[in-house]
Amino acid sequence: MEHLVQDGKFDHHGYLNMELLRFTTAGSVDDGKSTLIGRLLYDSKSIFQDQLEQIEQTSKNRGEEYVNLALLTDGLRSEREQGITIDVAYRYFSTPKRKFIIADTPGHIQYTRNMVTGASTANLAIILVDARNGVVEQTYRHSFIASLLQIPHVVICINKMDLVDFSQEKYEEVVEQFRHFASKLDVQDVRFIPISALLGDNVVDRSKNMPWYEGPTLMYTLETVHIGSDHNLIDCRFPVQYVVRPMSNEYHDYRGYAGRVAGGVLKPGDEVMHLPSGITTKIAEIKSLDGDLEEAYPPQSVTLILEDDVDISRGDMLVRENNAPKTGQDIDIMLCWMDDKKSLQLNGKYAIKHTTRDARCVVKEILYKVDVNTLHRIQDVDSLALNEIGRVKIRTTVPLFYDEYRRNRNTGSIIIIDEATNTTVGAGMIIE
């Protein structure tokens, strides 16, 4: 039983809540992402027999010599016929150790925005590199985005080792190439695994063809990588999403504040400060769908009952008095522009969402945009086009309660919305 206690947490019924690992996959076109995901699902027994028979039949009909596991993830038939995968596809599977959500993002250069979307909540990024081609432009791009989004763990899967005769020399060459580039990035934990997604080497089962590699398989890495400390458990942040007022005789004076914990650990009896008023009070109770809780931590959704009657509304935040976020209207962000119809304009006005707070902003300055392949800064720009990433200063109509993105991904991220069309046109990471 002890290993179960380490791997997960028990809820108040005594059931084990398995940890959820979100990971994203990225690579150039034809690097074998779909095959890799198919292999993970297939070898971990996460697909049904009829699905397997269907792809065996499709592979045979297409005259392919082996079961094409890529068909598992390539979704719609029209896409299969064109041989391309588009948009972000989310896949769910589990093993006895963990539950997983995969955000599969396309490799094409024009889908940078999809990778930003898929990777924004990921604990881990798998970046595929073709052993024959080594590190290419797309590898730089994907690694830069993983670094920008502060994905805590990055696994470089050097794929198609079967096509380079499982050469240790070739593997080490690619590792060295990547390490040289990664030294310029802000990535904490990088691991390298030589694999063949097609044959299954080092994906779920150890490779007999690469006895020189003594590290773990990809599946073992996914099941055991430590993600408990990926959330910020130090800075208490509770953005209020909804004020719960049942308006019934039974709960006549009931007033609860519902939201998702964005940082820290909250317990009944803890003193909290309300922003923007600065008034302090104490947490009386913490409610959840499973009943009362002794503590709440990210990313749990809970309702807080406070001891005092404080005027609180959606968009406000509960924090610790001696550990408050920054409050301000002039904010520096790294912005990925996602709109294919209009560029980001200097002095442009947009709606924004930050935690549970809605506001508007004006773009005061575009400091530079980043060439994501060389990491060079391009100065003197007055707009950002689709998929471009740049550093931008905005001024908001109301103060935001924020942390730097590298400190807290929840309170440090922002989305920008075109008010005319109500579409999300940019995703931003707060720098300061």
Q: Write the DSSP symbol of residue 309.
A: -
> Distance from first CA to last CA of the chain, Å, rounded?
45
Question: Looking at domain 2-230, which CATH architecture does it have?
Answer: 3-Layer(aba) Sandwich (3.40)
Q: Are the beta carbons of 70 and 34 closer than 8 angstroms? A: yes
Which range among 73-77, 120-124, 147-151, 189-193 has the greatest average pLDDT? 189-193
17 pLDDT tier (thresholds 50, 70, 90)? low
Structure confidence at residue 106 (pLDDT): 61
pLDDT tens, position by position, 328-379:
999 999 998 988 889 998 999 999 999 999 999 999 999 999 887 777 899 9
pLDDT attached to residue 4: 31
pLDDT at 198: 85
Is residue 191's pLDDT more than 70?
yes
Where are the chain's structural domains? 2-230, 237-319, 326-430
Task: Over range 87-97, report the average pLDDT.
Answer: 77
Give the C-alpha separation, 75 to 90, whole Å.
11
- Measured over the CA atoms of residue 143, residue 417, residue 21 and residue 205, the dihedral's sign is negative
**Two domains, one topology: 237-319 and 326-430:** yes
Q: Cis link prior to 299 (omega < 30° from 0)?
A: yes
CB 351 within 8 A of CB 394: no
> 């590290």: which residue's tokens?
215
- Angle (CA) 110 341 394, round 5°: 95
* Secondary-structure class of domain 326-430 per CATH: mainly beta
pLDDT of 8 higher than 50:
no
Angle at 417 between CA 416 and CA 422, to 5 degrees: 165
Whole-number Å distance between alpha carbons of 352 and 210? 50
User: Is a pLDDT exceeding 70 seen at residue 87?
Assistant: no
Asked if pLDDT for residue 235 goes beyond 90, the answer is yes
Work out the average pLDDT over 52-75.
66
Residue with tokens 């953005």: 239
Q: What are phi and psi of 264, to 5 degrees?
A: 75, 180
Nearest to 33 by CA among 217, 197, 251: 197
Please give the average per-residue pLDDT across 48-55, as a whole number.
Answer: 68
Tell me the C-alpha distance between 149 and 409, whole Å.
Answer: 8
pLDDT at 183 over 50: yes
Q: Tell me how far apart the alpha carbons of residues 182 and 180 are, in angstroms, rounded to a whole number.
A: 6
Q: Please determine, for residue 270, whether its predicted confidence score (pLDDT) is greater than 80.
A: yes
Residue with more model confidence, 215 or 6: 215
Question: What's the confidence (pLDDT) of residue 84?
Answer: 44
The rounded mean pLDDT for the chain is 84
- Could you give the percent of the chain with pLDDT greater than 90? 50
What single letter denotes the amino acid at residue 348? Answer: G
Indicate left, alpha or beta for 12 from its phi (over 0: left) and psi (-120 to 50: alpha): alpha
Phi then psi for residue 169, to 5 deg, are -60, -45
pLDDT of residue 247: 65
Single out the residue of 401, 248, 266, 260 nearest to residue 331, CA to CA.
Answer: 401
Residue 410 has pLDDT above 50, yes or no: yes
Residue among 257, 258, 266, 256 nearest 297 (CA):
266
Structure tokens at 27: 């690579």
pLDDT, residue 13, reads: 35
CA 261/CA 296 separation, integer angstroms: 7
Q: Identify the weakest region by mean pLDDT among 99-113, 147-161, 244-258, 397-411.
A: 99-113
Over residues 280-291, the mean pLDDT reads 93
Say which amino acid occupies 405: Y
Calpha distance 323→338 (Å, rounded): 34
Q: Which CATH architecture has domain 237-319?
A: Beta Barrel (2.40)
- Give the model confidence (pLDDT) of 134-152 as tens digits: 998 888 888 888 888 888 8
Give, in order, the Cα–Cα distances in Å from 252 to each of 245, 249, 280, 307, 341.
8, 5, 24, 16, 51
Query: Looking at residue 74, what is its pLDDT?
Result: 55
**What backbone phi and psi angles, to 5 degrees, belong to 112?**
-50, -45
Q: Is the pLDDT of residue 252 over 70?
A: no
Residues 100-105: what's their mean pLDDT?
A: 80
Count helices and strands (H / E) in the chain. 8, 25
Identify the band that residue 12 occupies on the pLDDT scale cut at 50, 70 and 90.
Answer: very low
Cis before 276 (ω within 30): yes
Would you say 47 and 36 are in contact if contact means Cβ atoms under 8 Å apart? Answer: no
- The answer to which of 63-77, 134-148, 178-192 has the lowest mean pLDDT is 63-77
**Sign, CA torsion 200/202/208/212:** positive
Q: Whats the size of the chain, residue-wise? A: 432
